[in-house]
Structure 1
């Protein structure tokens, strides 16, 4: 097993705890995701920029609260508390869906789930960056990310089998249970960190959303990562909006649309799981961080070229499966490796700003840009216009990878200089 996964004996327990933590968290989310996507189309593909703007505004309101809590509480207590709070949120939606039929509830749920998804995943990777070193991250983030992909398969399977038997609303109770199990696994990971004398977890972190923005602006390294993420959100939003328009035309029935989303997620997550278990670690180690960061932009370039030629559901499905599976299996772990070379303050303040406020801000701006372009041009033309953005995104990935390699070289050089006097003595 060690030869297959390249995990040492002392790394197995924390790796499995992190794997299970991610598995249950993503299972919980993917039970709810098909419901969100369908609600988005019910609101109207032409109005989705309003949903993205609402998500961005909500994120701006929540991030300062998170910064305030990080200043006051130890991370080993605060982070499990955040997951418990989200469990309570799901129970509130269960009550609302069971008792009310207001048209506002789908809108609120769409925005809430979009915030929930980014927030809990950002916290997950920040915490892992605290636990694992840069070298460990290159070897372990693939198998750990596979936990999320496994959950992303398990969740839709539960939805497919039980939605017709117990109803969509009752699925929220299963989602709560799975998120509770994720919280338990998180606590096991915290115990491991305490055993390894990770005392930094005990200290609250000073900062705020503005501190995160300040840290990003002051650091050329973080600015480059921020640009990379901003361009990624732009490309992803364009693809998401094209999906909404193509699917709303191709399928008139709500059940058919939900079925398509479920089938798409199954293909994406199955492909991602295979790649994360057997390919990610090898590519990260052998091909290097730069290749991993520019791979998905290249796929996006050819994907939009294909959509510019044909707007068929088959072409859309192929592009989405390639784009999302490579994003989850190669790009996301690579992006998270970049944060192993920054300080604890930057991991939680700057990274949280980039992963939440900057990410959703990019979503909102890209949504309005797409809406403006769609009033002037066809979807095919918009696809061609997205190609230069994919090229710039790839250049940003190239520069981010070069800065990471430079950071690694400089840190290794400092460690050698620090150790040299000891060897001389």
Structure 2
């Protein structure tokens, strides 16, 4: 039959390029499509969010970051309650359709709201998208770790990361090409359509879970489809916080997370300030500009994921992966202080974001591989969410404070140079400490495919 012949051809091509085995092709294809659709949906919205932030006033961005932190604190326990009470086949589509409903409501409100109140709706939309990106990507990766066993994840998660990057590129291109002609608000409905398709893909993947478990064979935990998903980690609600407070190693990880987010937020504010002055009231062109940055970032990320990430971390080590971004920041902020122009800012923004997605984030995730499961879930989650958003707050309000002291654009960039030097030193120390713990516990470092795959993990997106 033609369909069977086509499947055979696809399977053969996959096996020549990816280490995919019998029974895994269907699940891999749906997983790839799932992540592709998720990030297409988000990256359609991201430039619109950035434009709403500028439209609401650069001086008010710090308050929007505070609102994002509050939104996280409200929604996270509600989501956790869903997870605790419902099976995955119910809470995953329910979560996505909740966000789809939100998009429809925002579309309707933007259509009828009076112009003088549209700014406030835009600010709310900025906060909503900043929360949305964490949840939709987080649910995806939770699903993946639930249905793929460890040996499968090391072989196949790299392919999924590429799917996510391609989706991010498509979403950015859609907004870049259609923001003016199609209308910005109409893109909200298009984003919702991609999110619904992602929900359908998650259902199709769930129906192939049994076949995927059989393909795993003895590698799958106790032969159960859920693997470790049925195991209770136990411990207290604040166990992760306590472990971070008591462990210099975990505190160091929290430190590089904090330093990264502070500098990222600082650069984001500089971008908002400079683009507001250059583009003025030309909202569609500014949205197109933000989308073009996303296209450049995701294209560079894709190339790096495919050809650089695994090789760098394998041969240069985790310490180099951690130190790469602060080193780029030292040089980049130094150049920006001397030449505070848009081209330099865009170059620094693109290199930093791509370097984070493709190199630093995988290296940072590897740091947790030598820790107990409780730290991988509780302490890591505390660092990835609360510490990340606290870094946003520090970056937002410190930028406002330093600006109020009268420092110009070049002066603001100069303040980030010694900050990045300290970040570099901490990254080097963590790389050494990781090696010591790994040697003591004889922990095997993940494969290159696994390292590359981690660049598609949820942290991400929260930016």
Partner of 1:357: 386
Q: Is the 8 A contact 2:330 2:420 kept in 1?
A: yes
Q: Which blocks of at least 5 consecutive residues in structure 1 are unaligned?
A: 415-425
Q: Quick check: 186-195 or 104-113, which moved more?
A: 186-195
Q: Secondary structure at the match of 1:311?
A: coil
Paired position in structure 2 for 1:396? 426
Corresponding residue for 1:304?
333
- Encode CA deviations 1:149-205: one digit per residue, 9 max, x unaligned: 211110122223433444222222221121122233344555446554333224576
Mean Cα deviation higher: 250-259 or 103-112: 250-259
Aligned to 1:321: 350
SS at match of 1:9: coil
1:76 positional shift: 5.9
Shift of 1:68: 3.7
TM-score after normalising by structure 2: 0.79
Greater shift after overlay, 23-32 or 161-170?
161-170
Cα deviation digits, residues 388-419 of structure 1 (max 9, x gap): 221222233333334444444444479xxxxx
> What corresponds to 2:252 in structure 1?
224
Deviation at 1:142, TM superposition (A): 4.3
Distance 1:326 1:388 in 2: 20
- Correspondence for 1:7: 19
Aligned Cα RMSD in Å? Answer: 3.0
Partner Cα separation in structure 2 for residue 67 and residue 208 of structure 1: 15
- Cα shift at 1:60: 1.9
Q: Find the counterpart in structure 2 of residue 419 from structure 1.
A: none
Does residue 378 in structure 1 map to residue 438 in structure 2? no
| Cα separation, 2, equivalents of 1:400 and 1:343 | 17
- How many residue pairs match? The answer is 414
CA distance in 1, matches of 2:89, 2:318: 30
Per-residue deviation, 1:314: 0.9
Report what 2:162 is aligned to. 146
> Partners in 2 of 1:261 and 1:346 — Cα distance?
36
Q: Is the 8 A contact 1:31 1:171 kept in 2?
A: yes
1:63 alignment counterpart = 76
Distance 1:126 1:302, change over 3 A: farther
Corresponding residue for 2:276? 248
**Which of 214, 221, 233 is equivalent to 2:242?**
214
Deviations 1:231-279 (A, max 9, x none): 1101101110111111111221223322221221121111111111222
Question: Of Structure 1 and Structure 2, which has the larger fraction of its residues in helix?
Answer: 1
Indicate whether 1:180 and 2:196 are aligned.
yes
Superposition map of 1:40-59 within 5 A: 40-59=53-72
> 1-side partners of 2:373 and 2:148: how far apart?
13
Query: 2:340·2:410 contact (CA, 8 Å) conserved in 1?
Result: yes
Question: Secondary structure of 2:179's partner?
Answer: helix
The 3 A distance-change label for structure 1 pair 270 and 47 is same
What's the TM-score, normalizing by structure 1? 0.86
8 Å contact from structure 1 (residues 141, 281) kept in 2: no
Aligned-partner Cα distance in 1 for 2:369–2:89: 19
Q: CA deviation at 1:340?
A: 4.3
